[in-house]
Chain A
Amino acid sequence: MTPEAILELSAAQLARAIREKRVTCVAATEAALGRMKAVHPRLNCLVRSDDELALAAARLADQDLARGALRGPLHGVPMAHKDMYYRRGVISACGSKILRERPAASTATVLERLDAAGAIQFGVLNMVEFAFGPTGHNWHTGHVRNAWDPARITGGSSSGSGTAVAARATFAALGSDTGGSIRLPAHFCGVSGIKPTYGRVSRAGAMPLSFSLDTVGPLARTVEDCALLLQVIAGADARDPTCETRPVPDYLGALERPIAGLRIGRPRQFFYDDCDPEIAAAMQASLETFRRLGATVIDVDVPDIAPWNAASTIVISAEAAACHGTWLRTCPQDYSEQVRGRLEQGLAVAAASYLDALRLRGVALREFCAQVLSKVDLLHAPVVSFQTPTIAETDLGAGPEAVAMLGRTTRLTRPVNLLGVPAVSVNAGFTKAGLPIGMQLLARPHDDATALRAGHAYQQATDWHKRAPAG
């Protein structure tokens, strides 16, 4: 198989091809490294590639396979991940200046699980400074650029992950989602992503932003790939006390079940306020596809979400400020102006306000399940409501315009983090300008499988996810 043909495969298809010995692990790794090096100058998506280590690991993986030893479901699949997953002895700068020289003390649980499943990490990907921003700007490492139009934002904070997957430069990538940081790059870059249920995936060894809201999940070319990676990384972990101990469902098996009879909700309020007509039309068309697949689409009233969004902001601000307090006191000049501003304001959040925001979470989830997820299996909504802006248009410094833009960008994603429910983001079409449009599918807590099943069924009936950017 040629490198170009290998790069056209999804992670699941590549894993199958490797198992069937149609592709070697070395060939797959060389193809990914080659594509990454070709696209990085245009996209600024890579922090570092570990060519020799990755190729050595690939050779070993090929030797293992030759003697019949299959390490796991991701045997030989090359991947690069957001630069916030620690590997013992290796530097994870987390998009910052502050951590540029600090080697990690231990390896992230998710990396250990991917290693054990046979995946080969060949590099680390650019990200927003300390994952605290939704556009993809980074004033230390350079702004990451969208593979569909390098003048435009990728979304963030998993900016490198989103654009590298879109550019076929990695078969999948870990991201993280505290206020939308998986779903936004998935939307803007036209790839698939899942923000799992809070607590489903261990956060041990992952950079913290807001420990009450942080979730770890994959971005990939298909929902099937997301299910494959989630299957590997989910599950109890003694190193993360918030990690759920219930058994991990069979996500891949769930994909095979038809969605006929599934009830999909279309929100009457909030999610379509001031929505761009092209995005609204793509949402409507995707609902029609679900109807054709046998799902029932039901209009549903949603509770008042604005206070939840505000509470989410309060939680992120206060928790991030707590994590960064020492550095804000000792080296504030080492933050970019924008991130420093976002962090410092959290120091002014009163303890009672922060606790009220956390007290509101349970109430919000109770109301959301009672009013929405008792009537439908999934809530379907856009990820963002406006056309993809340019990097220059959203490079607004730290003033009120920047604050408004940031709030607008995460308006439809932040409440999902407060609720802690799973959300799959799937490409649902393109604008007339040729830029991707994403939808998100929200499910009940720990019903990640249903969101994945619907997203996969949608991709079996459409071909948006098969389109790749030029170059």
Chain B
Amino acid sequence: MEKDLTTECVVATLAAQGVVTEPARAQKYAALLSAVLKAAAPGYARLAFEEEPAGFTVEQKRNAP
């Protein structure tokens, strides 16, 4: 992720879905999600162009005894 999520971005995103959030709450969400997305980034960076969610089911079947 290039930049952290901002409080304003979270407030606006939730408002667009009809959920009103105070800035103090939104600030917590922004900090937490930014940290989670940073932690996920190395995994995401290795995803092949063709990778899709159904790959999980394929691997489940392929690796079953």
Which A positions have Cβ atoms within 8 angstroms of B?
Answer: 197-199, 246, 304, 306-311, 313-314, 317, 325, 328-329, 332, 341, 344-345, 347-349, 353, 355-366, 369, 373, 398-400, 403, 420, 444-447, 450
Q: Show 15 A/B contacts (Cβ-Cβ < 8 Å), sorted by A.
A: A307-B41, A307-B42, A310-B37, A311-B40, A329-B18, A345-B28, A347-B19, A359-B47, A359-B55, A362-B56, A362-B58, A365-B63, A399-B28, A403-B28, A446-B60
Q: Is the CB of B25 within 8 A of A310?
A: no
Add 15 more A-B contacts to A308-B43, A311-B43 (CB < 8 A).
A199-B60, A304-B42, A307-B43, A309-B39, A329-B19, A345-B28, A348-B13, A353-B37, A359-B53, A361-B55, A361-B56, A362-B57, A363-B51, A365-B59, A446-B65
Of all chain B residues, the one with the shortest Cβ separation from A242 is B57
Which B positions have Cβ atoms within 8 angstroms of A?
Answer: 5, 9-10, 13-14, 17-19, 21, 25, 28-33, 36-44, 46-47, 51-61, 63-65
Q: Which residues of B contact A325 (CB under 8 A)?
A: 17
Q: Is the CB of B56 within 8 A of A420?
A: yes
Q: Which residues of A contact B42 (CB under 8 A)?
A: 304, 306-307
Q: Which residues of A contact B25 (CB under 8 A)?
A: 341, 344
Q: Is the CB of B53 within 8 A of A355?
A: yes
Q: Is the CB of A369 within 8 A of B59?
A: yes
Q: Which residues of A contact B54 (CB under 8 A)?
A: 362
Q: Is the CB of B60 within 8 A of A363?
A: no
Q: Is the CB of B33 within 8 A of A345?
A: yes
Q: Which residues of B contact A349 (CB under 8 A)?
A: 33
Of all chain A residues, the one with the shortest Cβ separation from B64 is A446
Q: Which residues of A contact B58 (CB under 8 A)?
A: 362
Of all chain A residues, the one with the shortest Cβ separation from B45 is A307
CA of A444 to CA of B65, assembled, Å = 7
> Measured between C-beta atoms, what is the minimum distance from B54 to chain A in Å?
8
Q: Is the CB of A329 within 8 A of B17?
A: yes
Of all chain A residues, the one with the shortest Cβ separation from B41 is A307
Asked if A328 meets B19 with Cβ closer than 8 Å, knowing A353-B40, A359-B47, A359-B52, the reply is yes
Q: Is the CB of B47 within 8 A of A400?
A: no
Asked if A348 meets B29 with Cβ closer than 8 Å, knowing A362-B51, A365-B63, the reply is yes
CA of A358 to CA of B44, assembled, Å = 10
Q: Is the CB of B29 within 8 A of A344?
A: yes
Count chain A CB atoms within 10 A of each CB in B19, B30, B43, B65 and give the residue with the most: B43
Asked if A348 meets B5 with Cβ closer than 8 Å, knowing A353-B37, A445-B60, A447-B65, the reply is yes
Q: Which residues of A contact B57 (CB under 8 A)?
A: 362
Q: Is the CB of A398 within 8 A of B19?
A: no
Q: Is the CB of B60 within 8 A of A356?
A: no
Q: Is the CB of A447 within 8 A of B19?
A: no
CA of A399 to CA of B19, assembled, Å = 20
Partner of A444, one of B9, B37, B63: B63
Q: Which residues of A contact B46 (CB under 8 A)?
A: 363
Q: Which residues of A contact B38 (CB under 8 A)?
A: 310
Partner of B64, one of A311, A348, A398, A444: A444
Q: Which residues of A contact B41 (CB under 8 A)?
A: 307
Of all chain A residues, the one with the shortest Cβ separation from B58 is A362
Q: Is the CB of B47 within 8 A of A306?
A: no
Q: Is the CB of A307 within 8 A of B40?
A: yes
Q: Which residues of B contact A447 (CB under 8 A)?
A: 64-65
Count chain B CB atoms within 10 A of each CB in A308, A311, A348 and give the residue with the most: A348
Q: Is the CB of B63 within 8 A of A369?
A: yes
Q: Is the CB of B21 within 8 A of A344?
A: yes
Q: Is the CB of B14 within 8 A of A347?
A: yes
Of all chain B residues, the one with the shortest Cβ separation from A249 is B65
CA of A310 to CA of B43, assembled, Å = 9
Q: Which residues of A contact B64 (CB under 8 A)?
A: 246, 444-447
Q: Is the CB of B56 within 8 A of A348?
A: no
CA of A238 to CA of B43, assembled, Å = 34
> Measured between C-beta atoms, what is the minimum distance from B12 to chain A in Å?
10
Of all chain A residues, the one with the shortest Cβ separation from B20 is A332
> Measured between C-beta atoms, what is the minimum distance from A53 to chain B in Å?
39
Top 7 A-B pairs, shortest CB-CB distance? A362-B55, A307-B43, A310-B39, A310-B40, A358-B53, A361-B56, A345-B29
Partner of B53, one of A332, A361, A444: A361
